Structure 1
Amino acid sequence: MDDVITDIPPPSRFLLEDLNNFTPSQPTLPSPFLVFSSAKSKKIFCPSLLIIAMSSPSLHFLHHISSKTLIGTLVLPEIPLAGNSTEPSLRDKSCNIYALSDADNSIMIVLVQYSVAPERAHAVARLLIGEKIIPQRVLILDSIQSCNFRGKLSPDETIAFKLETSLERKTSDTGNSSLIKSLDYYPSGSVVDGLAAALLSGCELKKIKGTLCASWPDLGVPVMSLVKSLLVRDVLTGTNYTIDGDYEDEYLKLSRRKDRIDSDLYT
């Protein structure tokens, strides 16, 4: 009589590749693509600075710069366009591209107003940097994720750190001015992932001066003041631009509404 405890079990009736036959294959998503106005559809853009905003304070501040001109958009096919307004709005799920100076497109601004899945991050980054848009310098504005930060983060504490590509850091080490001057470097052991990481690594590979500015928390008047100060003092110095006067009040309402929703979750 066979010993069912010690005898070698019989081989499975299914091979691994056979088991996959019972799992429906996921449909391949269409590639993301850029759409520009007809007058600029064949143009290669070479801005002196490309600002890519993903954090709430940077999106809110840059959205209210009224002197920018909409020139294109990045379409991610899995993001539905239903419900978007005809005019650019912070409530839209969109990724619009603007020129701050329409004469020579010296500064371009990208407002990423939807979440990009990790597996799509590199495809989006390739479109924004190095193909149709070839910037001399890139600034990425994102928020710190508490799960990626080595240390404790208090919701009452407002902080920001930076990461730079080797070329950007070499510029500051040789005595030339870095893009963001007043921030400490992101603490060792902390992590950046998603689209921000894909953009910064893309800059590194293409030898573009790149800086990632990550701020905490994502909402609140103090972090808005911090991000605004960095942009006005370090980035937009010497640039002619105008800002809508009501952006601070609108951001305060957004922060209060978000705080109320979060507090309701724990009552």
Structure 2
Amino acid sequence: MEDVVTDAPPPSRFSPEDLNNFAVPPVLPTPILVVSPNPNPPTPRLLIVLISPTSLALLSHLPSPPPLHASLLLPDLPLQSHTPIRVYLHPSGALLAAEHSAVPAHRARAAARALVSTLQPEEVLVLDAVRSGAYRGRLAADEPVEGKLETRAARRQGGVGAARGVAALAPPGSVVDGLGAAVVAECEIRGKAASMVVTWPAGARPAEFGVMRRVAVELGVDPVKAAARVSGRAVLDALYT
């Protein structure tokens, strides 16, 4: 009779790759926000997070290049030609956080926490794009759409800045994700007023959206001359189409 205790166990039916799926994932390094030295550090009232190609087009049409205020580094990502997120200091005192390269979904929450906790803005405005797949492909390719999601603090005061004139996103289900949604979630946890405005289509001109026109006026940009561009953003092409 076989001894089930001392006999050698039968060979595993799992391959080594399958067994690795049960291992504890390694702890990812914390994102690093490198802030430029400034003898008079600003106390930002408003942080504008530029994610959609349409909103990034406004950044390239500013009257003068704003100085770099901070850079967000993700140590676990391969070395790139530039950091994923750069924060610029606008002459109005607002901070402009531009997502130059897409932040992976599994790192969005950590990146959002680093931005909000370090910069400590009073209010946050996120400008993102909605994915057609979130509406099961029922969005018209040539019909501009804009809608907003807000934290409870923002709803109590009627919205944040240029988002005050935007209607609520309908339906408000799981139609947004990534860095923008993570920033709004972080602001909700911290009790900050944050509005997230998403637009469709991703490649539309800023002048086609009321929120973009109002943001352009605040930044001193002519929205009619600003054209949406996707330069070096192949990942965004896949995400928002």
TM-score for the superposition, normalised by structure 1 = 0.69
Q: Does 1:71 align with 2:69?
A: yes
Alignment of 1:132-171 (within 5 A): 132-149=118-135, 152-171=138-157
Q: CA deviation at 1:134?
A: 0.5
Helix, strand or coil at the partner of 2:157:
helix
Partner residue of 2:98 out of 111, 135, 157 = 111
2:183 to 199, 203, 224: 199
Shift in Å, 1:73: 1.0
Q: Distance in 1 between matches of 2:178 and 2:201?
A: 18
SS of 1:185 mapped into structure 2: coil
Provide the rounded CA distance (Å) in 2 between the counterparts of 1:125 and 1:245. Answer: 28
Please show how residues 1-267 of structure 1 align to structure 2 within 5 Å.
Answer: 14=12, 20=19, 29-39=28-38, 46-67=43-64, 68-77=66-75, 78-82=77-81, 84=82, 94-101=84-91, 106-130=93-117, 132-149=118-135, 152-172=138-158, 178-179=160-161, 180-188=163-171, 189-221=173-205, 224-227=206-209, 229-233=210-214, 235=215, 239=218, 241-243=219-221, 248=226, 251=227, 254=229
Separation in 1, partners of 2:21, 2:48:
46
CA shift at 1:117, angstroms?
1.3
Could you tell me which runs of 5 or more consecutive residues in structure 1 were left unpaired when the two chains were aligned: 1-10, 85-92, 263-267
Q: Distance in 1 between matches of 2:188 and 2:101?
A: 24
Q: From the CA coordinates, give the structure whose radius of gyration is larger.
A: 1
User: Hey, what's the Cα distance between the residues in 1 that align with 2:221 and 2:78?
Assistant: 29
Partner of 1:87: none
Distance in 2, matches of 1:59 and 1:69, equals 16
Deviations 1:231-259 (A, max 9, x none): 443x466x5x54489963xx36x47xx9x
2:166–2:211 contact (8 Å) kept in structure 1: no
Q: Match for residue 4 of structure 2?
A: none
Q: State the identity %.
A: 29
Across the two proteins, how many residue pairs are aligned to each other?
219
Gap change, CA 1:243 and 1:181, over 3 Å in 2: closer
Q: Structure 1 residue 193: deviation in Å?
A: 1.4
Deviations 1:154-192 (A, max 9, x none): 1111110001100110112xxxx6531222211133522
Runs of 5+ unmatched residues, structure 2 = 1-8
Judge conservation of contact 1:36–1:71 (CA < 8 Å) in 2.
Answer: yes
Paired with 1:13 and 1:57, the residues of 2 have a C-alpha distance of 57
Amino acid at match of 1:122: R
Aligned equivalent of 1:88: none
String of CA shifts for 1:93-133, please: whole Å, max 9, x gaps. 641111112xxx73100000111111101110011102x21
- Give the TM-score, by structure 2 length: 0.75
Q: How far apart in 1 are the matches of 2:198 and 2:181?
A: 11
